[in-house]
Structure 1
Amino acid sequence: MNNFGRNLLFWLAVGVTLAFLFNVFQGGKTATTGGMSGETLAYSDFMADAGGGRISDVTIKGQEITGHYSADGRAFRVLVPNNENVVDRLATTGVRITAEKDDSGKVSLMGVLLSWFPMLLLIGVWIFFMRQMQGKGGGGAMGFGKSRARMLTEAHGRITFDDVAGIEEAKTELEEIVEFLKDPQKFQRLGGKIPKGALLVGPPGTGKTLIARAVAGEANVPFFTISGSDFVEMFVGVGASRVRDMFEQAKKNAPCIIFIDEIDAVGRHRGAGLGGGNDEREQTLNQLLVEMDGFEASEGVILIAATNRPDVLDPALLRPGRFDRQVVVPLPDVNGRDKILSVHMKKVPLAKNVQSMVIARGTPGFSGADLANLVNEAALLAARRGKRVVGMEEFEDAKDKVMMGTERRSMAMSDKEKNLTAYHEAGHAILAIHEPESDPIHKATIIPRGRALGMVMRLPEGDRLSVAYDKLKADLVVAMGGRVAEELIFGKEKVTTGASSDIRFATDMARRMVTEWGFNENLGPLHYGANQEEVFLGHSVTQSKNMSEQTASVIDAEVRKIVEVAYKRAHDKLTEHLDQLHTLAKALLEYETLSGEEIKAVLRGEAIIRDTGPDETDDRPHSSVPTGGDIDLGSIKPQGA
């Protein structure tokens, strides 16, 4: 039961108790009056009525007398003064007299409870709120210094290395830690010491947290997990106290693993920035350094941390004895993507025509999280279409959605805009085909996706770790294809803003060719970094100037020269193949979306034959699946805005 439910039950119990005691108190008051109601007589009137024979009976209880009139049976009550011998005086009147025992002078248990109840209630409420303030996990006002690390014993949902795919090198690095946790004497006999910490470095979504849980699952030891931001508070010293408490808990459960996610939140370089360091964060980092490798070593406690910003971490945190190993968890290659897809596809019913390797080849640079999202999107799409299994068509559509954005078919576009968009995208596609170093076309569409009115998606033929100079020049020519096609068909006066993203892409690439990659003869193989600026108290402050004004002017001139050369080549190529430009634009207007193979068929003058979708029992891959090789998302250049 959650805290809200417990609080609600507590206050309901308090309300019921108060209502019960109120009823008891009211009942006690009624009992003291003998359960009778009637008028209150003056003592002299009572004695006059008794002497006149108008009273039939009385009941005497202490100084209170209750009775009834003989004529109509009306009830009354009288309080008798002290030192009055009422019994002797009534005996002469013939009134029937009854006596009851008077307990008004005794102290009853109920009376004590009623008198002490308010104080007891206040004490109970105070104890309740104090316990709430000192709640579990250090989340209360009295528990600032308690660690917020959660211990997972993996009793349910245990993760092992079998659940982790696509990062074999990282798994191999961490297997030694697992072996040490299982059999530490094996290493200690030879004087070996296991690394105290392992830093998992890699882009977001590559499986750093998953592989840390797999280490704990394989070793079958307690696993403490916490985020780096959980240490930092507005009060100085709280983070350091939480670090101490976390390691104390870990020592009690040793051997165990502590996993700190996003450690860069607390492990940043000390004293960095114009405004100085943050005292709270730096004290937390200092305490973490001491706990990892100080006078009192933490035996049997292995710290695993994850970050995608290792460049900002303090050097003292990365030295041997603390984080001895940096395990790189990269984006998976084509084989890794195939294995990751196989793991996630086990959870969904698949059609016989689904081939994970084909999908892996068409998803360059996808991380493990991206691939899991791709499988989920395909399953949702199949459910919306009313299918019982997920087929290759759903995976292809899900891949296009993830890579190019959701189709905006409801967007109203005029015929003029569609015509212009078709020629714009056809310009990109024609140049991509006639530039030998360009990546093959995966798909071209004039259906708005995301923020673009149309798009030409190109996928490289293999996993690429570097890019050649010829490839960069070809990408610049293809980027200019949209603007050049608009000028050739509609004239310079009718050119639109649709090429804004192409121009930005070309300018940025040309500048990097000149200033970072050394692809310019006039400036040579030198690195010309931009001026370093930082914001201090709302103002931009220039730290250093890495180039002279004359050099900056030369860079601007060379960047413009590179882009203009690409523009001229694009103009010449499209002028030479103007008939193909018209043919492809008309095909895009008719079919709206064309695959790479269909574009080649259109340019060869062949008719496009489309099937209605593969049968769920068909083992053949879908005809629109590209046959391109392994590719890297970092080199994907969607063209067309």
Structure 2
Amino acid sequence: MSTNRDPDSSGNGPSGGGNGNPWVKSLLIWGGIFLALLLVVSMFNGSPNTAGTQLRYSDFRTQVAAGEVADVQIAPDRITGTLRNGSSFSTVPVPNDTELTTLLDQNNVSYAGTAPEEGNLLLYILVQTLPFLLILGVAFFALRQVQKGGGAGGAMGFGKSKAKLLTEKQGRVTFDDVAGIDEAREELQEIVEFLKDPQRFSKLGGQIPKGALLVGSPGTGKTLLARAIAGEARVPFFTISGSDFVEMFVGVGASRVRDMFEQAKKNAPCIVFIDEIDAVGRHRGHGLGNSNDEREQTLNQLLVEMDGFEANEGIIIIAATNRPDVLDPALLRPGRFDRQVVVSVPDIDGREKILAVHMKKVPLAPDVNSRTIARGTPGFSGADLANLVNEAALLAARRNKRLVAMAEFEEAKDKVMMGAERRSMVMTDDEKKMTAYHEAGHAIVAVHEPASDPIHKATIIPRGRALGMVMRLPERDNYSYHRDKMHANLAVSMGGRVAEEIVFGHDKVSSGASSDIQYATSLARNMVTKWGMSDRLGPLQYEDQQEGYLGMGGTSRTMAGAETNKLIDEEIRNLVEGGHSRARQLLTEHEDQLQLLAQALLEYETLTGDEIKQLLDGGRIDRPDQPSGPSLVQPVRGSAIPKSGRRFSGDATPQGI
């Protein structure tokens, strides 16, 4: 991303503070240590004047008297000279020896006085203080290295911001790379236009927004939107995580907030993106122990910087969270986060656009239909769709294909939704037969329920925790559900258990309907306690949601007395048993189709919705590889039941059956 100025030109790098290049600092430090070591070596090597033989003073006088000394140099603290044989010597004189010059004159020795060496005092001071300087230098260097992880690299860098400046070198993303969330993109695109041409809005009295809060489930593209803003705005873009503000020391987070805004002011106009702001922006007054903890200090400083007495013109704060319910109300008011942009899970059109973005990097076969894939992935976020495309590409690569075909996308979708196939597991023919009739029961009820979604696929191949499943896909995304469809879903969920009862008898039913019963009970409870679909209890809400947002981590609390709870349980039972009775009625009327479909599943293991319709209408399936249609011979190959003995089967619809 190009910027209007070099952010380092004022001495402030992306991690702030005008600390310069860390490589230059390290080079200077090591250079200073090397020079200090050289100085120590030079000092302990001794002075060049100390070369030669060291004599006792008495021996020196004896050699002078014997005429062995040629010349001497006399200093206040040392006498050096040369013997007549050419060797040099040195000695330390005895104080107040007034007869030395007389002795030298008597023996014709040439002598001269020498002034004291300059710098001895300075050298002495260096020798005495150098060990302490080295200890302080090592301590300073160690402290700097330890604190570099907690700040921006300085010796007192705990309070420095960790905000990083995003540049083109890290991969430029634009709004062309963002699809499926058009409303959120338009909201943020207006901020980008304001930064590019503020006069267009200011001449009509408009002011630049202080902040925008991106709210959405994980994987919906909040961070991707922020990166797109960075790529489009052409202004400095700082990014930081909410957890980077919080440390074990009180006041560090607030100091980092101040430092971050100081950097932003020097680079205004600019954008600051705070990811996962709920790590620092939670409700105040709920801390453990003392309420005036580090997180609250940091939040208070953030509130003041965003909208306090000192205006921060040209700084836009963009934050992202999937838990807006835990944020402090002062953070959400106008003047701080002026806009709350909901980044929702894409609809079918949005999923098709997102798939088109990710499929640009993948060589596709002619049979790939992104609309069909989008229709089969309701509830998928952008991250889920990217994962689906990647899984399809990996499958094609393992099969040594040059193009990614629709078969790989279908298998990748099943793998993402339900897990990998477990073809290696083996179970008895009786257990596989039970699974086939169980799934056939779901499918037959779904076919004959007018309000049910059409069948997309039925299989008895184990996948994930399920030993079989019937997948139903809606024609379009559903945002609300009608009563008749809910009753149809109850009947379909009971179809597997009823099929086992009809074919194998009451005593031979399996545990395979556990997940079906769980779904039916949950659906019936919601119909009675939340959606007002019980005639006996009326249109009242008897449960409310506690602690949770966007379907994550929520708990329910019943708001009713003992008699009302008893009535609620009776209504739930009536709804589930009503679905059971409806499934029994349909399967009894169409038992011949139940037998036919179960045998076809035993033969082919997997049938598409069109093949099921073809089988029920004409009694056969036309496949290029097996034109004779389904046989009634049970196959040898099978798959195993889980160790727990439970069979997880039933409809794998996007609604959760």
Q: Deviations over 1:337-388 (max 9, x none)?
A: 2221121122222333333233222222221111111111112122211223
What residue identity is the alignment partner of 1:508?
S
What percentage of aligned pairs have identical amino acids?
66
Distance 1:190 1:105 in 2: 82
Aligned partner of 1:70 in structure 2 is none
Contact 2:543 2:557 in 1 (8 A): no
Q: Which segment is superposed worse, 231-240 or 161-170?
A: 231-240
501, 514, 521: which one aligns with 2:515: 501
The alpha carbon displacement at 1:407 in A equals: 1.2
Over residues 547-570 of structure 1, what are the superposed CA-to-partner deviations in whole Å (9 max), with x where a residue is unaligned? 111111110111011111111111
Residue aligning to 2:585 = 572
Residue aligning to 1:555: 568
Q: Which residue of 2 aligns with 1:261?
A: 275
Mark the CA change 1:579 to 1:121 in structure 2 (over 3 Å): closer, same or farther: same
Query: 2-side partners of 1:425 and 1:583: how far apart?
Result: 12
Aligned to 1:193, the other structure's residue is in SS state coil
441, 444, 450: which one aligns with 2:458 = 444
Q: 1:294 to 1:344 in 2, by over 3 A?
A: same
| SS state at 2:579 partner | helix
**2:180 maps to which of 162, 166, 189:** 166
Q: Alpha-carbon deviation of 1:196?
A: 1.5
| Matching residue's letter, 1:269 | H
In the alignment, the residues of structure 1 paired with residue 166 and residue 92 of structure 2 have an alpha-carbon distance, to the nearest angstrom, of 77
Aligned partner of 1:246 among 257, 260, 268 = 260
The SS at the match of 1:311 is: helix
CA distance 1:80–1:9, change in 2 (3 Å): closer
Residue of structure 1 in register with 2:473 after alignment: 459
1:595 aligned onto 2:608: yes
* Partner-residue secondary structure (3-state), 1:148: coil
Change (3 A) 1:17 1:433: farther
Determine if the alignment matches structure 1 residue 366 to structure 2 residue 384: no
Greater mean alpha carbon deviation, residues 274-283 or residues 500-509: 274-283
Matched position secondary structure for 2:274: strand
Match of 1:636 in 2: 654
User: After superposition, what is the alpha-carbon deviation per residue over 1:427-476, rounded to whole angstroms, capped at 9, x for unaligned?
Assistant: 21221112111111122222221122222211111111111111111111
Give 1:485's match in structure 2, choosing from 460, 483, 499: 499
Q: For 1:150-189, what aligned pairs fall within 5 Å after superposition?
A: 150-154=164-168, 156-189=170-203
Is the Cα–Cα contact under 8 Å of residues 365 and 634 in structure 1 kept in the other structure?
no
Distance 2:410 2:311 in 1: 53
- Change beyond 3 A, Cα 1:260–1:366: same
Would the alpha carbon gap of residues 265 and 533 (structure 1) be closer, same or farther in structure 2, given more than 3 Å must change?
closer
One-letter amino acid of the counterpart of residue 410, structure 1: S
In structure 2, C-alpha distance between the alignment counterparts of 1:362 and 1:324, rounded to whole Å: 37
Letter of the 2:161 partner, please give it: S
TM-score by length of 1: 0.77
Distance 1:479 1:313 in 2: 40
- Output aligned runs, 1:97-176, within 5 Å: 118-135=131-148, 138=151, 142-154=156-168, 156-176=170-190
Conserved 8 A contact 1:133-1:143: no
Q: Aligned partner of 1:460: which letter?
A: P
Q: Structure 1: any 5+ residue segments left out of the alignment? A: 45-59, 68-76, 89-101, 535-541, 613-632
- Paired letter, 1:125: V
Distance across 1 between alignment mates of 2:556 and 2:329: 22
**CA–CA separation in structure 2 for the residues paired with 1:567 and 1:441:** 20
Preserved contact between residue 470 and residue 652 of structure 2 (Cα < 8 Å): no
SS of residue paired to 1:569 = helix
Note the alpha carbon deviations across 1:99-138, whole angstroms, 9 max, x for none: xxx9x99999999987765444323212312432453872
1:615 is aligned to none
1:237-294 Cα deviation digits (max 9, x unpaired): 3333322222222111111111122222333333469999674333333332222222
Q: Which amino acid is 2:275 matched to?
A: D
Contact (CA 8 Å) 1:531, 1:545: kept in 2 or not? no
Q: Is the contact made by 2:237 and 2:272 (CA closer than 8 Å) also made in structure 1? A: yes
Tell me the equivalent position of 2:240. 226
Contact kept? 1:260, 1:306, Cα under 8 Å: yes
**Aligned runs of 1:337-416 on 2, under 5 Å?**
337-416=351-430
Q: How far apart, in 2, do the equivalents of 1:638 and 1:206 lie?
A: 20
Aligned with 2:470: secondary structure? strand
What is the letter of the counterpart of residue 296 of structure 1? Answer: E
Structure 1 range deviating more: 464-473 or 127-136 = 127-136
Q: TM-score, normalised by structure 2?
A: 0.76
Query: CA–CA distance in 1 between the matches of 2:507 and 2:29?
Result: 76
Q: Is the 8 A contact 2:542 2:558 kept in 1?
A: no
Question: How far off is 1:486 after superposition?
Answer: 2.1
- Corresponding pairs, count: 594
Match of 2:638 in 1: none
Distance 1:533 1:133 in 2: 40
TM-superposition CA deviations, 1:542-590 (whole Å, max 9, x none): 9987211111111011101111111111122222222222222222222
What amino acid sits opposite 1:414 in the alignment? T
Q: By how many angstroms is 1:607 displaced?
A: 2.8
> What is aligned with 2:533?
519
Q: Does 1:418 align with 2:436?
A: no
Between 1:212-221 and 1:114-123, the stretch displaced more is: 114-123
Moved more, 257-266 or 366-375: 257-266
1:28–1:371 CA distance, 2 compared to 1 (3 A): same
The Cα RMSD (Å) is: 4.6
Q: Is the 8 A contact 1:441 1:456 kept in 2?
A: yes
Q: Secondary structure at the match of 2:587?
A: helix
Q: Which residue of structure 2 lines up, in the alignment, with residue 315 of structure 1? A: 329
Quote how far apart the aligned CAs of 1:30 are.
14
- Pairwise CA distance, 1:25: 9.3
- Code of the aligned partner of 1:505: Y
SS of the equivalent of 1:497 reads coil
1:305 counterpart (319, 334, 337): 319
Q: How is 1:318-333 mapped onto 2 (pairs within 5 angstroms)?
A: 318-333=332-347
Task: Quote the residue 1:433 is aligned against.
Answer: 447
The 1-side partners of 2:90 and 2:317 are apart by 85
Partner of 1:538: none
* Distance apart, 1:155 and its partner CA: 5.1
Counterpart of 2:173, as a letter, is I
Alpha-carbon offset, residue 79 of structure 1: 11
Deviation by residue 1:501-525 (Cα, 9 ceiling, x = unmatched): 1111111110000000010000000
1:470 to 481, 484, 497: 484
Whole-angstrom distance in 1 between the partners of 2:448 and 2:604: 22
User: Which residue does 2:209 correspond to in 1?
Assistant: 195
Following superposition, the deviation at residue 64 of structure 1 comes to: 12
Letter in 1 for 2:195: L
Aligned counterparts of 2:288 and 2:407: Cα–Cα separation in 1 = 54
SS in 2 for 1:258: strand
